Amino acid sequence: MIGILPGAGPKADEYVVIGAHHDHLGTTASGEGSSRASADDGAVIHNGADDNASGVAGVLELAKAFASGPRPARSIAFMTFTGEESGLIGSHHFVAHPVFPLEKTRMMVNLDMIGRIPENKEQVQVFGTKSAEEIEPVLTQMAERVGLSVKTAGGALGGSDQTSFYTKGVPVLHVFSGLHDEYHTSDDDAALINEQGAVRILELVHALASEFASLQTQLTYSRKAAEGLQRGPRGFKVVMGIMPSYTDSDEPGMEVVAVTRGRPAEAAGLLGG
CA count, 13 A, side-chain hemisphere, 179: 22
Positive or negative: CA dihedral 21, 23, 28, 34: negative
CA distance 143 to 15: 22
Model pLDDT for residues 20-37, shown as the tens digit of each residue: 999 998 886 555 556 665
Say yes or no: 269 and 156 in one domain: no
Say yes or no: 248 and 178 in one domain: no
pLDDT(238) > 90: no
Say yes or no: 244 and 230 in one domain: no
Q: How many CB atoms lie within 10 A of CB 185?
A: 22
Return the pLDDT at 44. 86
Model pLDDT for residues 202-236, shown as the tens digit of each residue: 999 999 999 999 999 999 999 999 864 444 455 44
Helix (H, G, I), strand (E, B) or coil at 187: coil
Say yes or no: 14 and 81 in one domain: yes
pTM of the shown model: 0.83
Say yes or no: 222 and 262 in one domain: no
Q: Which domain holds residue 244?
A: 238-273
Tally the domains of the chain.
2
Return the pLDDT at 65. 98
Say yes or no: 25 and 84 in one domain: yes
Q: Which of 223-242 are b and which e, b meaning 16 or more Cβ less than 10 Å from the residue's Cβ?
A: ebbbeeebbbbbbeebebbb
Say yes or no: 222 and 252 in one domain: no
Say yes or no: 175 and 247 in one domain: no
Say yes or no: 93 and 222 in one domain: yes
- CA-to-CA separations, 132 to 38, 77, 223, in angstroms, rounded: 41, 19, 8
The mean per-residue pLDDT over the stretch 125-131 comes to 97
CATH code of the domain in which 215 resides:
3.40.630.10
Say yes or no: 136 and 149 in one domain: yes
Say yes or no: 242 and 231 in one domain: no
Say yes or no: 97 and 224 in one domain: yes
